């Protein structure tokens, strides 16, 4: 199978640019907003343990597989799948399109939440820390129909502007500037939070596994989080792999990206869980506030701390950077599909996605206000889109990628691609996970998601 030369494609300048851009995609709202509340919900340490086990086996294998598929074909997901899907396996062509559609579903609501983050950032930067912490602030804001849409537009505009600058000058440069600042801020805030009086109980809850809290849902939730956090099963790594130079060591880059993603998620837990414990006087229920943990509980915690408005501002600037580098990767993947498949210019593809994200972002916002009567299985419009993308389509896409590689492309071809620049110490783990472990886990996750949609189990 011939590899496309990719001369006219944008390429990352080298190792560091590539690593920071993919880490920028991986590190996002998933790490800072989702990981801490899921860890708290699923029992702290036991969730962490399962998450790590999955990361080093299944997560590692899937990142390597998707990236190498992209680098080998130099194409975005639709083309990469089409390159290999022969007559016998023509159903796999759908897999390419599914991978391409996931980021198109995620972009509108991810940018809407990005808009909420900008709103909080402005609130803190303009001295409004007390109002951000006031009862009803968050709910009042998200139910105000078109007001959040204005912030959504601002966030989407920042994302589109960077995409229009191109792969190296936009995507890569944005990550190279924002990622180091994000890491420093995350570290400083975590240290500050962990040294508050009473934080020790929260640290213990976070780190010590309680095996009695284990259930199959711990595995399903950890797996879903791993997908979302590593940006796996959404065509992103295929696209970014297609921009990777042939001399980048895929294995080393993957390990560094996984480490960076996990470090920020862990730091987010260290920032949030001990601080909420300290604030609530050691009440484990307080940390279980679900999705509202970051937008409702945390501002109250900041307000109760000395220097709360300063820490709050630093925190929301960090979240903004994390969300922006991720939304850039989401939009870049959509643009890459449209330019590759429809031969559109970069500007035309970006403008198209901009309007798509507004058109679908508005119903997501109204879903908390005027359209809150629209709900399926208790999910709002935003939650439905998230559930469809991250709980159903992502595992399905990852499963199709495993089938494509193990049954059609041949695992050996991907192993050769990786070995062309890596020592590939994890080859045996990679082969085992891709062929056996990943399909089993993915089927389990898919079955649980469908069962949850039908109301048979509670996630
Ligand atoms: N990995 C990002 C996060 O953890 O927030 C989220 C994300 C990025 C989701 C890219 C989807 C995506 F296509």
Q: Dump pLDDT digits (tens) for 138-190.
A: 999 999 999 999 999 999 999 999 999 999 899 999 999 999 999 999 999 89
Nearest to 346 by CA among 88, 166, 142: 166
Domain membership flag for residue 459: no
Half-sphere exposure of 80 (CA within 13 A, CB side): 37
Span from the CA of 28 to the centroid of ligand 1 (angstroms): 6
Q: Decide if pLDDT at 220 tops 70.
A: yes
Retrieve residue 316's tokens. Answer: 């929301």
Whose C-alpha lies nearest to ligand 1, atom 13? 330
Q: Which atom of ligand 1 is nearest to the CA of 31?
A: 4
Q: Decide if pLDDT at 2 tops 60.
A: no
Whose C-alpha lies nearest to ligand 1, atom 11? 231
Question: Structural domain of residue 264, as residue ranges?
Answer: 4-453
Domain membership flag for residue 33: yes
Total residues found in the chain within this entry: 459
Domain membership flag for residue 236: yes
Q: Tokens 């007001």 — which residue? A: 147
Write the DSSP symbol of residue 376.
B
Instruction: Please spell the DSSP secondary structure of 240-289, one letter per residue.
Output: HHHTS-TTS-HHHHHHHHHHHHHHHHHHHHHHHHHHHHHHTTS-GGGGG-
Q: Which atom of ligand 1 is nearest to the CA of 333?
A: 13
Ligand 1 environment, Cβ below 6 A = 25-26, 28-31, 103, 106, 228-229, 231, 234, 236, 326, 329-330
Number of domains in the chain: 1
Span from the CA of 278 to the centroid of ligand 1 (angstroms): 30
How confident is the model at residue 8, as a pLDDT? 59
Which of 21, 30, 114, 395 most suits a substitution to test ligand 1, by most atoms within 8 Å of the C-beta? 30
Poorest-pLDDT segment among 77-81, 88-92, 381-385: 88-92
Q: How confident is the model at residue 197 (pLDDT cuts 50, 70, 90)?
A: confident
Rounded average pLDDT over 326-333: 95
How confident is the model at residue 250, as a pLDDT? 93
Span from the CA of 85 to the centroid of ligand 1 (angstroms): 27
Q: Decide if pLDDT at 281 tops 90.
A: no
Domain membership flag for residue 441: yes
Q: Which atom of ligand 1 is nearest to the CA of 103?
A: 13
Write the DSSP symbol of residue 232.
-
Nearest to 232 by CA among 68, 19, 394, 386: 394
Span from the CA of 29 to the centroid of ligand 1 (angstroms): 7
Nearest to 221 by CA among 433, 375, 364, 43: 43
Q: Decide if pLDDT at 37 tops 90.
A: no
Domain membership flag for residue 458: no
How confident is the model at residue 1, as a pLDDT? 40
The predicted-structure confidence for 247-270, as pLDDT tens digits, reads as follows 899 999 999 999 999 999 999 999
Span from the CA of 16 to the centroid of ligand 1 (angstroms): 20
Query: The domain spanning residue 32 has which CATH number?
Result: 1.10.4160.10
Rounded average pLDDT over 97-112: 96
């Amino acid at each position: 199978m011939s590899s496309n030369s990719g001369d006219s494609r944008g390429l990352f300048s080298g190792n560091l640019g590539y690593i920071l851009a993919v880490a920028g995609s991986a590190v996002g709202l998933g790490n800072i907003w989702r990981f801490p509340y899921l860890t708290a919900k699923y029992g702290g340490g036991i969730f962490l343990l399962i998450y790590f086990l999955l990361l080093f086996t299944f997560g590692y294998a899937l990142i390597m597989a998707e990236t190498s598929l992209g680098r080998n074909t130099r194409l975005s997901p639709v083309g990469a799948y089409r390159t290999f899907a022969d007559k016998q396996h023509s159903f796999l062509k759908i897999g390419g399109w599914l991978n391409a559609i996931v980021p198109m579903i995620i972009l509108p609501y991810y940018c809407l939440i990005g808009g909420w983050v900008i709103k909080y950032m402005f609130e803190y930067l303009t001295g409004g820390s007390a109002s951000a912490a006031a009862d009803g602030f968050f709910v009042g804001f998200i139910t105000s129909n078109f007001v959040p849409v204005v912030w959504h537009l601002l966030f989407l505009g920042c994302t589109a502007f960077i995409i229009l600058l191109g792969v190296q000058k936009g995507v890569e440069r944005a990550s190279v500037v924002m990622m180091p600042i994000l890491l420093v801020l995350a570290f400083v805030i975590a240290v500050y939070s962990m040294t508050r009086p009473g934080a020790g109980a929260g640290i213990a809850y976070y780190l010590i596994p309680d095996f009695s809290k284990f259930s199959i849902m711990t595995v399903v939730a950890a797996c879903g989080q791993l997908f979302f956090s590593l940006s796996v099963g959404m065509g992103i790594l295929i696209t970014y792999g297609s921009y990777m130079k042939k001399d980048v060591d895929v294995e080393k880059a993957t390990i560094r990206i996984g480490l960076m993603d996990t470090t920020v998620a862990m730091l987010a837990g260290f920032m949030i869980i001990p601080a909420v414990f300290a604030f609530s006087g050691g009440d484990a229920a307080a940390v279980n506030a679900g999705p509202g943990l970051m937008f409702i509980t945390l501002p109250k915690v900041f307000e109760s701390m000395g220097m709360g408005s300063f820490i709050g501002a630093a925190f929301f600037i960090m979240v903004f950077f994390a969300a922006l580098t991720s939304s850039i990767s989401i939009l870049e993947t959509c643009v890459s599909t449209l330019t590759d498949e429809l031969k559109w210019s970069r500007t035309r593809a970006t403008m198209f996605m901009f309007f798509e994200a507004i058109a679908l972002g508005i119903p997501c916002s109204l879903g908390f206000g005027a359209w809150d009567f629209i709900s399926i299985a208790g999910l709002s419009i935003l939650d439905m889109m998230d559930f469809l993308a991250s709980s159903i389509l992502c595992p399905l896409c990852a499963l199709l990628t495993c089938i494509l590689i193990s049954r059609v492309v041949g695992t050996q071809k991907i192993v050769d691609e990786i070995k062309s620049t890596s020592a590939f110490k994890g080859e045996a783990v990679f082969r085992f996970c891709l062929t056996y472990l990943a399909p089993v886990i993915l089927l389990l996750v898919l079955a649980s998601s469908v069962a949850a949609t039908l109301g048979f189990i509670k996630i």
